[in-house]
Amino acid sequence: MFFEYSALITLIALTAILAYSFYAVLLAGQLSLAQIGLASLAAFTSILVVPEEPLFGVIPPLVIGIVFGMAVGMIAAFILGLPVVRLRGVFLAIATLAFAEMVRIFLINQSWTNGAQGMSFPKLVGPITAWVLLILVAFWFWRLSGSRLGRTFDAIREDELAALSMGINVARYRMASFVIAGAVSGLYGVLLAYFSRFADPNEFSFTAAVDGLVTAVVGGVSMFIGPVLGSTLLTVLPEVQRVLGIDAGWIRPLISGVVLLLVILFLPGGLSALIPRRKSATKLVDDDAGVLNELPAAGTVVATLNGLGKSYGGVRAVDSVSAQVKAGSVFGLMGPNGAGKTTLVNMLTGMTPPTDGNGTILGVTLGKRTQAHHLGAAGAARTFQQIKVFSRLSVLENVLVGGYRVTKSTLWRRMLFLPSARRDEHTAVANASAQLRRVGLADKAALSAGNLSYGDQRRLEIARALAAQPTILMLDEPAAGMNHVEATELSTLIRALAADGIAVVLIEHNVRMMMKTCDEILVLNFGKMIASGKPEDIARDEAVMAAYLGDSARTENTQEPDDADGPVQAPKDSEQNS
C-alpha cells in the first residue's frame, strides 16, 4: 500500500513545502507570487553544482543541491525585495508575478536549460526524504509562532502603522519574510526536480503559483500546520477522482475553486482555524516580573520643539509650535476640531515629517529621514485617534506585540528548546500581564481584541503602549467613547503614570478632564499656538475662550456637565485637589 501511493505521499509533502513559501509572506500580510519563479531558479541552477557522487565521499549530492537551491532562493528574493518590498496588495502581487514570468521566459531561452524541452535530473527524493524535510520546515514555523519575530509578523499583517509606532522596522521585517519565503521556495524547487527526474520551465507557471497560494489560503495562516492541511486536501482530490473513475480534467480545479470560495466566505482562518488553540497562548502569569525601563528624573526635558511646522500645499496644519515636555508630567494639547493636534503628535512620533522648524524627542532629531520606528525604539509610544488594535489577535497577544522594544529575540533559542528562551518569553508575558491589570483588562486576556467594547479597545491600546515601557507616552483622545466614570478612572491612571516618571502627552476634547489631569496645557487653533501654561491660566485665557466659544461669548459665564466637551471652565477647588 505504501509503495503504491508513495508518489502521492511525496507530492503531499512537496506541495506543503511550496505552500509554506506562501505562508511565510502571508504571515506578514504580503501577497507575493514570486515563489514559483524562485523555485525554478533554484531547480535549474542546482544542476550546475550537484555532483554525481557524494562530495568528499561523505556529503550526499542532494544535500549540496538543497543548500545551493535555498541560497539561490534567498539571494534572488532579497534582490527582488529591494524594489518591491514597499508595494502593497495587488501592486505587490502583480510585480512579483511579473518577476516569476520573467524568470520562466529567461530559462526557456537559455541553452544550458535545454529551453522548453526541459532537463533530466537524477531521482534523489523519495517519500521519506520529502517528509523529513517537510517536518523540519513545519517545526521551524511552529517555533516561529511563539517568538518575538512571529509576533512582529502578526503586527505587520494586522496594522503596519501601529507596528511602526512600537519601534518595528516594517520594511526590514517585510524583507525578512521575503527572504524566508525565498529559502523555502528554493528547497521546493530542488526537491521537485530531483523527485520528478524531469523539469521544464513551463512547469513553473502562473497556474503553479496560484495552486501554491490556494493551498496556503485553504490551510490558513492562523496555525503553522495550515499548509500541511491544505496540501493534504487538495493533493488527494485528484486521487479520489481517479478512484471514482472520473476522468474529466476540469473537476479538480472546479473543486479547488469551490473549496477556496467556501474557506474565504465561511472560514477566513482556513482549515487550521478549526483546531482549538492552546490555553497557555492566551493565559496571564501571576507574577509581575519584567524588564523595567529606567526613566529619567522628574523634570528632565525629554522633548523639545522649536518652531515646528507642517504645511500641506498652501495649508498650514501646524504653524511654528515651540514647547518642552518633561518627565513625570502630563502635557496637554487642546484645541477645536481641525486645530492641528493630531498632526503635531504625528510629527512627534515620526509618522509625519515636519516642513520647517526642528525638534528632538529622546535624543532623536525630527526630520525628513526620521522614521516612526526610530522614535518607537527610543522610547516613544502612542495611541491613535482612530483605534488601531490587532482585531484578530487576543487581548494578551496585542500587548505582547507592544512589548517588542523591551523583549529579546528568542527564535533560535526556541528552536533548541533552551531554558533562556522560556525565561525571556515568561518575562514578556509577565510584562504584558502587568499592563493588562493596570488598565483593568486582566479578565479579558483570552478574548479576541475585535470583540471588545469601544472603551475596552481604548484601554487595550493604552496597555499595548505601556508594554513598551515608554519614556514618553502620547495619548490621542483616549477618553473618546467613555462615560464620566470611565473618564475619571482614566484620568487617575494617567496621573499615576506621570507619578511613575513617564512623560505623558495628552490630546482630549473632554475639557474638564484636561483641567484635572494636566500639569501644563498648550492650545492650538488653526495650527497656531494661542496659549500655553498651567490649566488654571488656560481656563481664563480670552484667546482660548474665543477659540472655543467665539468672540461674542468671551464674557459669558457658561456652565457644562463634568464630562462634556464644552467651553473652557476652571475646575472647582475640590476638583483641583482630587
Is 236 a residue whose pLDDT tops 90?
A: no
Q: Which pairing describes strands 503-507 and 330-334: parallel, antiparallel, or unpaired?
A: parallel
Q: What is the CATH number of domain 301-378+471-577?
A: 3.40.50.300
Enter the C-alpha cell of residue 138.
513545519
Q: 364-396 burial, b for 16+ CB within 10 Å, e for fewer?
A: bebeeebbbbbbbbbbbbbbbeebbbbeebbbb
Residue 370 near residue 350, CB atoms below 8 Å: yes
Q: How many CB atoms lie within 10 A of CB 573?
A: 8
The H-assigned helical ranges of 341-394 are: 341-348, 372-378
For a pLDDT cut of 70, what percent of the chain falls above it?
A: 90
Task: Output Rg (C-alpha) for the chain, integer angstroms.
Answer: 29
pTM value? 0.87
Report pLDDT digits (tens) over 342-363: 999 999 999 999 999 999 999 9
Is 528 a residue whose pLDDT tops 60?
A: yes
Please state the φ and ψ torsions of residue 316, each to the nearest 5 degrees.
Answer: -95, 100
Report pLDDT digits (tens) over 268-294: 888 888 887 765 555 677 665 555 667
For position 564, what pLDDT does the model report?
Answer: 38
For position 3, what pLDDT does the model report?
Answer: 58
For position 331, what pLDDT does the model report?
Answer: 97
Is 575 a residue whose pLDDT tops 80?
A: no
Report pLDDT digits (tens) over 437-448: 999 999 999 999
Dist. CA 88–CA 269, nearest whole Å: 21
For position 567, what pLDDT does the model report?
Answer: 42
3-state helix, strand, coil in the chain (%, to 5): 55, 10, 30
Report pLDDT digits (tens) over 477-487: 999 888 888 89
Beta strand ranges found along 209-348 (DSSP E): 301-312, 315-326, 330-334
Report the pLDDT averaged over residues 104-126.
Answer: 90
Report pLDDT digits (tens) over 147-181: 999 999 999 999 999 999 999 999 999 999 999 99
Enter the C-alpha cell of residue 279.
490555553
The region of weakest confidence among 231-240, 320-329, 464-473 is 231-240
Report pLDDT digits (tens) over 41-85: 999 999 989 988 888 888 899 999 999 999 999 999 999 999 998
List the beta bridge partners of residue 529. Answer: 524
For position 484, what pLDDT does the model report?
Answer: 87
Residue 216 near residue 233, CB atoms below 8 Å: no
List the beta bridge partners of residue 448. Answer: 394
User: 430: Cβ–Cβ under 8 A, 6 or more apart, which residues?
Assistant: 285, 287, 288, 289, 290
Q: 496-508 burial, b for 16+ CB within 10 Å, e for fewer?
A: ebbeebbbbbbbb
Is residue 280 helix, strand or coil? helix
Report the pLDDT averaged over residues 222-242.
Answer: 87
Task: From residue 548, give the alpha-carbon distance in Å to each of 230, 339, 530, 567.
Answer: 59, 11, 12, 6
List the beta bridge partners of residue 364. Answer: 361
For position 571, what pLDDT does the model report?
Answer: 40
Best CA proximity match to 366, nearest among 300, 299, 323, 303: 303
For a pLDDT cut of 90, what percent of the chain falls above it?
A: 66
- Binned at pLDDT 50, 70 and 90, residue 248 comes out as low
Dist. CA 133–CA 183, nearest whole Å: 13
For position 284, what pLDDT does the model report?
Answer: 75
Task: From residue 388, give the alpha-carbon distance in Å to each of 112, 392, 491, 510.
Answer: 52, 12, 21, 21
- Binned at pLDDT 50, 70 and 90, residue 576 comes out as very low
Dist. CA 418–CA 270, nearest whole Å: 32
Report the pLDDT averaged over residues 99-115.
Answer: 92
- Which comes out higher in pLDDT, residue 103 or 554? 103
Residue with cell 496621573: 495
User: 467: Cβ–Cβ under 8 A, 6 or more apart, which residues?
Assistant: 399, 400, 401, 402, 403, 406, 431, 432, 435
For position 558, what pLDDT does the model report?
Answer: 40
DSSP 302: E
Handedness of CA 156, 162, 166, 171 (dihedral sign): positive
Category of 382 on φ-ψ map: left (φ > 0), alpha (ψ -120 to 50) or beta: beta
For position 519, what pLDDT does the model report?
Answer: 95
Dist. CA 149–CA 229, nearest whole Å: 24
For position 369, what pLDDT does the model report?
Answer: 86
Category of 86 on φ-ψ map: left (φ > 0), alpha (ψ -120 to 50) or beta: alpha
For position 194, what pLDDT does the model report?
Answer: 95
Dist. CA 402–CA 166, nearest whole Å: 6
Mean pLDDT (the chain, rounded): 88
Best CA proximity match to 100, nearest among 4, 179, 32, 200: 32
For position 249, what pLDDT does the model report?
Answer: 65
Is 300 a residue whose pLDDT tops 90?
A: yes
Q: How many CB atoms lie within 10 A of CB 245?
A: 6
Report pLDDT digits (tens) over 176-219: 999 999 999 999 999 999 999 998 899 898 889 988 999 999 99
For position 281, what pLDDT does the model report?
Answer: 54
**Domain extents in the chain:** 6-203, 301-378+471-577
E strand or H helix at 121 = none
Residue with cell 555532483: 51
For position 551, what pLDDT does the model report?
Answer: 54
Q: What is the dihedral of CA 266, 272, 277, 278, to 10 degrees?
A: 170
Enter the C-alpha cell of residue 520.
501644563
Dist. CA 284–CA 467, nearest whole Å: 14
Report pLDDT digits (tens) over 531-547: 999 999 998 888 888 88
